[in-house]
Amino acid sequence: MTMKKILLVFFVGVAQSMVAQVPQDQKSIKEIFDEALKNGKAYPMLKELCTDIGARLSGSPAAAAAVEWSRHMMERNEFDSVWLQPVMVPHWVRGQKEIARVINLKNRGVLELSVCALGNSIGTGPSGVSARVIEVKNFDELKQLGTKAVQGKIVFYNRPMDPTLIHTFEAYGGAVDQRGRGASEAAKLGAVAVIVRSMGINIEDYPHTGSLHYQDNVPKIPAIAVSTKHAEVLSKLIKEEKELQVYIETHCEMLDDAPSFNVVGQLNGGEYKDEIIDIGGHLDSWDLAQGAHDDGAGCVQAIEVLRLFKELGIKPKRTLRAVMFMNEENGLRGGMKYAEIAKAKKENHIAAIESDEGGFTPRGFSMTGSEETHAKLKSWKPLFAPYGLTEFADEGGGADIGPLGPLGTAMIGYSPDSQRYFDYHHTPEDTIDKVSPRELEMGAAAMAALVFLIDKYGLK
Amino acid sequence: MTMKKILLVFFVGVAQSMVAQVPQDQKSIKEIFDEALKNGKAYPMLKELCTDIGARLSGSPAAAAAVEWSRHMMERNEFDSVWLQPVMVPHWVRGQKEIARVINLKNRGVLELSVCALGNSIGTGPSGVSARVIEVKNFDELKQLGTKAVQGKIVFYNRPMDPTLIHTFEAYGGAVDQRGRGASEAAKLGAVAVIVRSMGINIEDYPHTGSLHYQDNVPKIPAIAVSTKHAEVLSKLIKEEKELQVYIETHCEMLDDAPSFNVVGQLNGGEYKDEIIDIGGHLDSWDLAQGAHDDGAGCVQAIEVLRLFKELGIKPKRTLRAVMFMNEENGLRGGMKYAEIAKAKKENHIAAIESDEGGFTPRGFSMTGSEETHAKLKSWKPLFAPYGLTEFADEGGGADIGPLGPLGTAMIGYSPDSQRYFDYHHTPEDTIDKVSPRELEMGAAAMAALVFLIDKYGLK
């Protein structure tokens, strides 16, 4: 055999093993995309959720309405069963609009800053807090300043998200410690409040909320986010006037835990009905907007995946569940409860797919799983290429499905294009008009196609 | 040698030949993207063009303002030379707002339709046109109806864009004959006017304009576009009431050709200065909107490509030109003039890149060129993968650079994500708020990276 022939045999062999069932699967996947793009219901569902219900933070009346809306939607689509999983959730309320103003500008009066309280934070109450502001870029810088410099001050965290990272979630990951841990780290050194630069990449007028976590045995201090635009202004003013003081007034408070629910809809499997595939998004959203991309999109896409199966008459071999998780934003209680029940019932969740990166054009999937499941997933790549999904990352999943990991579930994250996500994330801008119907429906189709393959072939 | 070793040698050989200059090129391309994402000027430029000048149809005062704006912008960026190329352009004006109403609805009064005149069309004048409406899906159907059925009627073209085509420009290509040729085809059979379903995929309230072409020696009849929503309504009404009549009134007219300009900015090449690389967009836009995606985006990206070279201190070996073509929308006079001058001056344009598919996330490039240039372009694919550009299509280019093709120029189209383009194209919705700063800047960076490679290595 000449080398040329050896190579030929080699390539043909590889090609054949990969394309065994390809024509049939290509056809099924095209049917899924065609139905989603012609008659998709993800967008009309999302429009209802955003405009009829809107913001739906855990514990709020709107969150309860969203639970009922989801249940009705699943029942209307005649899923085999629909049920609620009770779960107690944190109940944080923002109270009246926050105030933050620079109060000692030389000869320039008062400057109102565009801010909002961070979720889970305590309020200042009506008397507010006034103090000098010191700016830091990270915790190392804060620690070097030490108690002497920080005591009695407001700490201003102003490290921007890195705009040069192409995948914007990496930039978020590199900055969000300021929001999550900033208050407690500053409180350890005696700070009286913190101002955190919003988790946005562009220079914008509006602040981004999001949750913080207070560490045990550390005093809880008020915490606000400031718009990226005013973060830049504040930083400049601090350089000009060392003694710059800011007045902060917030009225938020953490109430007692409140009863709420995950909402689950199921299509029963056939041959392997004990193997469960979850498709999920989170139903709660921040109180400042409609939660269109975060994460109404993921919720309606999960429902749409099951609807597509029903509409196209695809009878799943395995059991499919659309899961609306409650409380991803400020507690993750729903995700933990779902895994707790799965464990107690000894259920076999072979894979869970989460959509919580917005309703944008699909680019691929990420997965945390075994080598075997990775190999399987990657063998399907050519089936997704015609739809523009080419990015299959080796690590990933999602917050809500994370607690299923220890049960051996392959955790899969749906990865849409990430460029616009942080323009809207946790802001009043996260509204239905920012969602492209086609992009949203294509995302649902992409997930349905993946579920179709996992259901047909398993992941092992 | 074992087969394994043969394969190893083969793969290493392939890999080595492909990655010869890779680390250096990777570094340069990263510098280009970093600068664009940190300090990019495409978005601020586009904001100026859209909000200070706005709609700029050929021959309008705003088009003249856009010419001056472009010249100033290039001069402010200190390009080596900036000049205007005079070109006479069609001067079509819409006149007062169009009217179209269904006038004989049984017991239901009058229904106003959401319409606009098609570019280049003649007006009905103040007396308007009233006639029965007959619906067709294509020219075959029209011809089968024949003169007897069509004579004296208004022909309603109602074939939707195919939503199942993933690349939306294919769907556009499959429907736009109705707009471009529909009036003349109907006039041949004695129709008095045409209504064309808007070139949009979603069901929307607003119409999409765009140009038509009247054939020689065929009567010119008025032509309007109707919103996709009202196309559906009209179709339904025609089925219910066979004698349905519509009144159309348009006040548009084609004036005498007007003087205008292409605007060209140049960075002089070094070693191979006689080889020219063009980067272009079109400066004119429809009169209904700001022309943000179509094609302000392409214009500012072309300027930004040259700015990035200057800012990063990259001295081009070849000559780079940013070209703002005039009159792409309703005549292509600018593109033809540019090629005519290039030919007369015997210039050697080795490649021309056009951005006219919107300022969305970059997905790749298309090219019409020789086998040699295709091989070269594809050898650079791995350099673009980290930035999400994976689609390199074998056919493509753009309308304005098309006339350079016969001169042997490789014609390259910049291909951004196409899902949202036809939500805005030729409608009042094509405004700056629909543009993501990151997506726009990444597009400029992607083109700059390609120009960097063509400039460094040539295309042969």
The full set of domain ranges for chain A reads 23-91+256-457, 95-251
Q: Is A145 on the interface with B (CB under 8 A)?
A: no
Q: Is B104 on the interface with A (CB under 8 A)?
A: no
CATH superfamily, domain A23-91+256-457, is Zn peptidases (3.40.630.10)
Among the listed residues B124, B100, B329, B96, the one whose alpha carbon sits nearest the alpha carbon of residue B221: B124
> Is the backbone of residue B291 left (phi > 0), alpha (psi -120 to 50) or beta?
left
Out of A34, A166, A436, name the one closest to residue B386 (CB): A166
Q: Is B163 on the interface with A (CB under 8 A)?
A: yes
pTM for the whole structure: 0.94
Q: Is B17 a residue whose pLDDT tops 90?
A: no
Q: Is B291 a residue whose pLDDT tops 50?
A: yes
Q: Order of strands, edge to edge, in the sheet holding B391-393?
A: B81-93, B253-267, B318-325, B272-282, B348-354, B410-416, B362-368, B391-393
Q: What are phi and psi of B68, to 5 degrees?
A: -65, -40
Mean of per-residue pLDDT scores for chain B: 95
Q: What percentage of chain B carries pLDDT values higher than 90?
A: 93
User: Judging by beta carbons within 10 Å of its beta carbon (0-12, 13-18, 19+), is residue A371 exposed, middle or buried?
Assistant: exposed
Q: Is A184 a residue whose pLDDT tops 90?
A: yes
By DSSP bridging, strand A129-136 and strand A245-249 are antiparallel
CA angle B184, B190, B192 (to 5 degrees): 80
Domain B98-251: top CATH class: alpha beta
User: Judging by beta carbons within 10 Å of its beta carbon (0-12, 13-18, 19+), is residue A146 exposed, middle or buried?
Assistant: exposed
A391–B387 CB contact, under 8 Å: no
- Residue A109: per-residue pLDDT: 81
Q: Is B3 on the interface with A (CB under 8 A)?
A: yes
A166–B387 CB contact, under 8 Å: yes
Q: Which of A35, A185, A275, A328 is catalytic?
A: A328
pLDDT (average), residues A217-224: 98
pLDDT digits (tens, 9 = 90+) for B208-260: 999 999 999 999 999 999 999 999 999 999 999 989 999 999 999 999 999 99
Distance between B164 CA and the closest CA of chain A, angstroms: 5
Domains A23-91+256-457 and A95-251 in one fold: no
Q: Is B328 a catalytic residue?
A: yes
- Residue B10: per-residue pLDDT: 45
Q: Is B164 on the interface with A (CB under 8 A)?
A: yes
Q: How confident is the model at residue B100 (pLDDT cuts 50, 70, 90)?
A: very high
d(C-alpha A340, C-alpha A393), whole Å: 27
By DSSP bridging, strand B253-267 and strand B272-282 are unpaired
- Residue A225: per-residue pLDDT: 98
Chain centroid to CA B386: 27
Residues of B in contact with A38 (CB under 8 A): 163-164
Residues of A in contact with B163 (CB under 8 A): 37-38, 438
Hey, what are B147's tokens? 């003169």
Q: Pick the residue from chain B with its C-alpha nearest to A387.
A: B166
Q: Is B218 on the interface with A (CB under 8 A)?
A: no
d(C-alpha A297, C-alpha A278), whole Å: 16
pLDDT (average), residues A19-32: 87
pLDDT (average), residues A102-118: 91
Q: Pick the residue from chain B with its C-alpha nearest to A442.
A: B166
CB-defined contacts A:B, below 8 A: 71
- Determine the number of helices (DSSP H) and then strands (DSSP E) in chain A: 14, 16
Q: What percentage of chain A carries pLDDT values higher than 70?
A: 96
- Residue A14: per-residue pLDDT: 43
pLDDT (average), residues A116-134: 98
Out of B38, B437, B442, name the one closest to residue A202 (CB): B437
- Residue B137: per-residue pLDDT: 98
Distance between A96 CA and the closest CA of chain B, angstroms: 30
- Residue B381: per-residue pLDDT: 97
Mark out the alpha helices in A40-159 (DSSP H runs): 42-48, 61-76, 139-150
A437–B202 CB contact, under 8 Å: yes
Q: Is A6 on the interface with B (CB under 8 A)?
A: yes
- ipTM of the modeled complex: 0.93
Residues of A in contact with B390 (CB under 8 A): 390
pLDDT digits (tens, 9 = 90+) for A305-364: 999 999 999 999 999 999 999 999 999 999 999 999 999 999 999 999 999 999 999 999
Out of A3, A386, A391, name the one closest to residue B166 (CB): A386
Q: Is B357 on the interface with A (CB under 8 A)?
A: no
**Hey, how many other C-beta atoms are within 10 angstroms of the C-beta on A198?**
31
Q: Between B139-150 and B177-188, two packed helices, what is the crossing angle to 10 degrees?
A: 30
CATH architecture of B23-92+256-457: 3-Layer(aba) Sandwich (3.40)
* Local structure of B10: helix, strand or coil: helix
Q: What fold, for A95-251?
A: Glucose Oxidase; domain 1 (3.50.30)
Q: How confident is the model at residue B203 (pLDDT cuts 50, 70, 90)?
A: very high
Q: Is A388 on the interface with B (CB under 8 A)?
A: yes
Q: Which of A168, A202, A203, A417 to mutate to test the interface with B (most CBs of B within 10 A)?
A: A417
Out of B164, B391, B423, name the one closest to residue A33 (CB): B164
pLDDT (average), residues B42-49: 98
Out of B164, B419, B423, name the one closest to residue A38 (CB): B164
| Weakest mean pLDDT among A237-241, A353-357, B136-140 | A237-241
Say which residue, B229 or A107, is predicted with more confidence.
B229
Out of A6, A164, A438, name the one closest to residue B6 (CB): A6
| Weakest mean pLDDT among A96-110, A341-355, B372-386 | A96-110
Q: Which of B31, B204, B328, B357 is catalytic?
A: B328
Q: Is A44 on the interface with B (CB under 8 A)?
A: no
Local structure of residue A168 (DSSP, 8 states)? H
